[in-house]
Structure formats: C-alpha cells, structure tokens
Structure 1
Amino acid sequence: MRLLSLNINKEVLDYIIENELYICDDVSEIDDAIYHSEVRYYNIILVKHNNTKYLKQILKYVNPRQTAVIFLVDEISKEEELELLKKGAIDVLKGSIPNDLLLAKMKSIHRENFENQYIFKDKYLINKEERSISDNKNNKLVINGKPFSILEYLIKNRHRSAISKEELLDVLWDDPEWVVRNVVEVNINIIRKGIQNTFEENFINTVRHRGYQIV
C-alpha cells in the first residue's frame, strides 16, 4: 500500500513507516504533491494545505474509487468543503487534528492494513508478522519478500475487478521506474506455485490485458 503526504505530523509518518503500514512518499511542496498524484498510483493521499485551488488539482488526477484523499485545513468555508467532497475527497478535517484521530480515520478506510492478521475467504488466515497464509486444516505457507506483498495487496483489493501490473509496481516498489517489467509476472508465478503446492488451490486469476484478480 502506498501513501502520499504533505505537511503531515512527523509522529504519524514515523508510526506508519515503523509499522510498515504504507510505503510513504512525503513531499515538501504542494506542486510536488500535485505532480506525484498525477504520475503515480496511491491508495491514500494526506495533504495539509489551505488553498482549495491546489487541492482541487490533486483531485483532478485521482480516481476516488481507488484512492482515498483526506485534506487537512486550518479554515474552510462550507461551500469549499462541499466542493472538495463532491469532487472526490473522502474527508476534509478542519483545525488541529490529533494524531490518534487521523490514524483512526485511516484505519476506517483500510482496516485490514492496520491488522497484524485477518481472515480471507472464511478459511485462510493472513499473518503479516509471519508473512504467512494458513488454512483451517493447519496447512501453512510462508512467503518472503515481494510475493507476500503482492498477494496481500491483491487480497486487500479483492473487491476490484482487476489490479494492473503497473499499479502493483507503483504501489509496492520504492522506485518502480527502475524495475524490470516482468518482475510482477515472476512473483505471481511464485505465489501461484506456493498456493497450489500447499492448498491445492489457485485464487489468483489473470484478467487478459487488465491484470490480476482474487477469485
């Protein structure tokens, strides 16, 4: 999962990074935030800025069905707030926002991302600390490195019709522009082989010309 931030409290970012909740791109200027929102995919965008003209530019480049955008402002009129919400912001937080409230807002959006373990398909337990998946028959598969990150990302986005290779690269690699393009396919094959050997099942479907989907 990937996060874009501007002017967000360092304690919040440190907590996110230390707990490996998101890969964080923390920028220092609003122009950089606008640029990043245009060229890279993000699961969540946190921006603290008071000029709604720039905030609307960020919304212009994101798909609100895929990217949760939260704006933090010191003051804003009701009309401006409504306009940002209508254009796709999921929330506009005003005034001094406590760290625990901001983290709670984030957790309400990506609840599974904040849990160390969770159930998938009513019989598989995903354990983030062990980087493992186990079933109700005590079969267990430990998946190290990027294959686990890819599997977990697909599971967390199982409600979507397909996740493209480009999105997986953008979200899960620090510098996707330097990564060999077939690296996603290689990792998907590792995941499929492990799942097939351990559970005799394959729940990653290839959607032609679109990417991958959990089934």
Structure 2
Amino acid sequence: MYRIMIIEDDDKIASILQQYIERYGYEVIRATRFRELKQEYIDANPHLVLLDINLPHFDGFYWCRQIRTVSNVPIIFLSARVGDMDQVMAIENGGDDYMTKPFHLDVVMAKIKSALRRAYGEYAAPAPSSTDVLTTSGLTLDRARNIVEWNGSQADLSRNECLLLASLLAKAGRIVSRDDLLEALWDNVDFVDDNTLNVNVTRVRKKLEELGLPKVIETVRGQGYRLDLSLFDSSR
C-alpha cells in the first residue's frame, strides 16, 4: 500500500484530500508538526508528498529543500499561488509537479498515480546495474544514484533532472523533441504544464555549467533540445 503525506495547514482542504485519496486504497498521513516537518517526514516515510507553499513558520519551498536532503520522494506542490515564478520556485527547490488551487480531485489523483508509477511502478527504473551508468564524451551519468560527473567533479540531480539528462545523453548530438522529453519525465502529459519542462531544462543546464560545461544543451526552436558535447570531448 502506498503512503501519501499531505502537508497542508488548511484542515478543510487536507480533510477533503485525505478522504478522496483513501477511497483509492492509499494510506494517508496528514502533517501536524509544522515546526519540525523534516522529522515528521522521516518518521512517516511516505511514498509521495503533497505540499502546500503557505505554511506556518517556514514555507513549502524551505521544507521541500529539507526533504531533498534525505530523500528523492516525489513531491507535488498544491498552492493557491498562480504565478509562473511560484511554479519555477517550486521546481527549482526540488518539486516534481505543481497544481494550483482550486483543483479537480480527479486531476490530483491522476498526478499522484503518474508520479507513483514513475517512482515505483511499471515505469520505475530497473534495479541498479552497469547499464545505469551512461558515458558520452567524458560526461558520466549514474542513474542509480542520480549523479552526473565531469572532469572529476560531481553534481546531484533530482529524479526528473536525471531522466531528462539521460534522454539527452542517449541521443547526444541529435535533437530530442519536447514531446519525447515530456513522455520521459511524465507518463501522462495531458496534465503537465509545458513550462515545467522548461524549468527542468534550465536546472540541468545550470548544474552542467557549474561542472564546467556551459551551453551544451541547445534549444532547437520548434523542435526540441540537443546535447552537444563536441567542444568539450576529451577523446578528440
């Protein structure tokens, strides 16, 4: 049985979500210790987190970063904030998806099921093996540990960042369409805001730049993205 943790201080919204999610056979835990949510998360050990932004003491962005220090659990933000920058902040702070209030409960369930399938179900990554390590032109991606390495330096990736970079690495030098990348990250693209892909691409670009690989992910207007490592290929 999958365990869902709801971090929402509005008791009415949390109660509605809990009752609806439990109808589908999931166990639901509602956060109550808003000063120590990281420890409450560790104690609950959920398979997925629904996280509000406006919370007592510290906001959801802060707690998402705290959870990310101990887990790559899928985190879906649920917030009344509708601005693009709020969505950008949610993704940049480690969230996997973002929904605005008011929301349709059936869409919430679709996103929950999609995230669980990606993380643990039929679309989850296989057990670690040698094929979990991709290497192209000196750039190495360890998909089992969500780590990218270049020239002796490493960077940690979120689950979605790792999936995105793996898709680009597998077709290095070739264009990967936006549709293919969306499908690699989310199996149900009907409920995905296209801006979410842009944010993830920006995050991967930043981490590669910090490793010494600036501008290696090219935007091909109207088509998609291409990973071009030709200028940095140590084997040439």
Please give the TM-score of this superposition, normalised by the length of structure 2.
0.41
